[in-house]
Amino acid sequence: PQIVISVYGPDFFGNDVVRGYGAVHVPFTPGRHTRTIAMFVPESTSRLQKFTSWFTGRRPEFTDPRVVAQGEGREVTRVRSQGFVTISFNVV
Q: pTM of the predicted model, to two decimals?
A: 0.78
Residue 31 gets the label, from left (phi > 0), alpha (psi -120 to 50) or beta, of: left
Residue ranges covered by each domain of the chain: 2-91
Instruction: Give the integer Cα–Cα distance in Å for 85 and 4.
Output: 12
pLDDT in tens, 17-54: 888 999 999 999 999 999 999 999 888 778 888 788 77
pLDDT in tens, 68-87: 888 776 667 778 888 999 99
Minimal CA–CA distance to 23: which of 9, 2, 41? 2
Rg (CA), the chain: 15
